[in-house]
Structure 1
Amino acid sequence: MRVLLNIIWLVFGGLWLALGYFVAGLICFVLIITIPFGIASFRIGVYALWPFGKTTVDKPTAGTASLIGNVIWIIVAGIWLALGHVLTALAMAVTIIGIPLAIANLKMIPISLMPLGKDIVPIDSRPSYT
């Protein structure tokens, strides 16, 4: 079922969403100081290509630098990305088939707001940091 949902997701918005994250990542790589944001953008882009079967977890080693980077990210890009995910989720939720896609879009909001200090892992292999 995950493969089918991922294929539908890819066709109805996932590809364009991922391309947007990849372009943003390339721009961040050009502006040397924003390379960590570029890496985070590429991680989210890969997640946006094939989101079903994956989840996000906090990195236990994330510290103050991640917090400061996330504050900068929210101000510069996070709010707009989250708003885009909400609007896309509303459009996808119009049909019954689109409801799981809308839920996946809403699931991406926390990582689009604060990508630093997070890992994207398969659901079956969630690490336990206890």
Structure 2
Amino acid sequence: MSFLGNILWLIFGGFISGLAWILAGIICCITVIGIPIGLQCFKFAGLAFCPFGKEVVYGGGAGSFIINIFWLIFFGTEMAIVNTIIGLILCVTIIGIPFGLQFFKIAKLALMPFGARIE
């Protein structure tokens, strides 16, 4: 069932969400300091392309907190707002609710991606 959900996900906006994570990763990898942040973005692009059947576990410490602050300033706020708006639009219909919930999961990840892992 998650395979079918992921296929439909790509059609209903998941492809654009994954591309946003890849673009953020490429921009971060331009500088040497941003390479760890860019690599984390590439990891989460996999979740953005196929979110059904995967969970995000949040954790981390002070280092993750500091990197999350920089992330919020440069990329996180915009990505979270866009994913939340798309999720709200999809939740208007009953058929779109599962897809909207996945966008909410990615919006939360866009706010705090560092210290999180995908299971």
Q: Output the TM-score relative to the length of structure 1.
A: 0.85
Q: Please list every run of 5 or more consecutive structure 2 residues that lacks an aligned counterpart in the other structure.
A: none
Cα distance in 1 for partners of 2:93, 2:57 equals 30
Letter in 1 for 2:71: W
Q: Deviations over 1:94-127 (max 9, x none)?
A: 3221110001111122211011111011xxxxxx
Aligned counterparts, 1:1-130, within 5 A: 1-59=1-59, 62-121=60-119
Change (3 A) 1:86 1:58: closer
Report the aligned-residue RMSD.
1.2
Contact kept, 8 Å, 1:25 with 1:41, in 2: the verdict is: yes
User: What's the CA shift for 1:6?
Assistant: 1.0
> Which of these two proteins has the greater Rg computed from alpha carbons?
1
How many residues were matched structurally?
Answer: 119
Q: Percent identity?
A: 39
Q: Deviations over 1:1-44 (max 9, x none)?
A: 21111111011111111011111101111122111210121122
State the SS of the aligned residue for 1:54. Answer: coil
State the SS of the aligned residue for 1:116. Answer: coil
Q: Output the TM-score relative to the length of structure 2.
A: 0.92
Q: Deviations over 1:48-75 (max 9, x none)?
A: 000010011134xx33211100111112
Contact kept, 8 Å, 2:24 with 2:38, in 1: the verdict is: yes
Contact kept, 8 Å, 2:72 with 2:111, in 1: the verdict is: yes
